[in-house]
Amino acid sequence: MRWRLDLSYDGTGFHGWAAQPGLRTVEAELELALSRVLRSVEAPRLTCAGRTDTGVHARGQVAHVDLPAGVLDALGPDSDADQLARRLSRALPDDIRLGGLRPAPDGFDARFSALRRRYVYRLCDAPAGPDPLARRHVVHHRRALDVPAMTAAGRGLLGEHDFAAFCRKREGATSVRTLLELSSARVADVVETTVVADAFCRSMVRALLGGLVAVGEGRHDAQWLTGVLEGRRRQPQVTVMPARGLTLEEVVYPDTAGLAVRASQSRRRRGEGLPEMSTPAPER
């Protein structure tokens, strides 16, 4: 039986989402908590909507896990999904929050069924730096940024393109993505850049931000970033921005009837004919 988990976490203390030997990760902490709650020798395997990198945060992460059909009966008489959620919440560390746990509808796949992901990157360009209470998720940028110029540059990248210039190449994987939004806005002394796409390849969001920052500082004009995209090669002028400024805010899915169709379409588009098991492609 497949279950959907809605999660948020402070990425500061994690080496990213994916389990890695000897390192503290979000996936490993969740699997450990699940195995404790279920009294399972073998930890259940999770699949997430987007594998966040070291230091990246999430407010709207989604994952799924396949558990035995009688999992609630094994917890005791009159057990229900809410009780399972409460037990799992108590087993999790303070920097991971379980926002919801429920049986997933037929055809649901946390990664492949998703229509789009929304990230927000936060930079403070005030000389004094960000609010001390926000320093874990806001990056201090020491040069003033031209926010309208950044948004103008972002508009030139919208649509379906090969984003190889902004990705770490993965053997056998496509870097073609559909970018739906790339816009910046000033909120007090913080520049918030919203990035929405059907999916992201590795380091894509933070590399896009590096390009926007180069425009925002006045080192290049908006057309330069379009040229970088069309070149399909990584450029040294495009800096991959620090991870702590990035937060996965939301993952959007189709209605129940469209879940399986969307998952099938996503697998074919990304060249993955078989359902994902335990090693999905990274998304940042």
**Residues annotated as catalytic (active site), given as ranges:** 53
From the list 180, 168, 182, 188, the residue with the least C-alpha distance to 123 is: 188
Where does residue 221 rank: exposed (0-12), middle (13-18), buried (19+ CB within 10 A)? middle
Give residue 210's Cα distance to chain centre: 17
Class of residue 165 by CB neighbours under 10 A (exposed 0-12, middle 13-18, buried 19+)? buried
How buried is residue 206: exposed, middle or buried, by Cβ count under 10 Å (0-12/13-18/19+)?
A: buried
Which helix or strand (DSSP H or E) is residue 181 part of? strand 176-187
List Cβ<8 Å contacts ≥24 apart for 171-177. Answer: 172/271, 173/201, 173/270, 173/271, 173/281, 174/269, 174/270, 174/271, 175/201, 176/269, 177/201, 177/204
Buried b (16+ CB within 10 A) or exposed e, 112-126: bbbeebbbbbbbbbe
CA angle 179, 184, 187 (to 5 degrees): 145
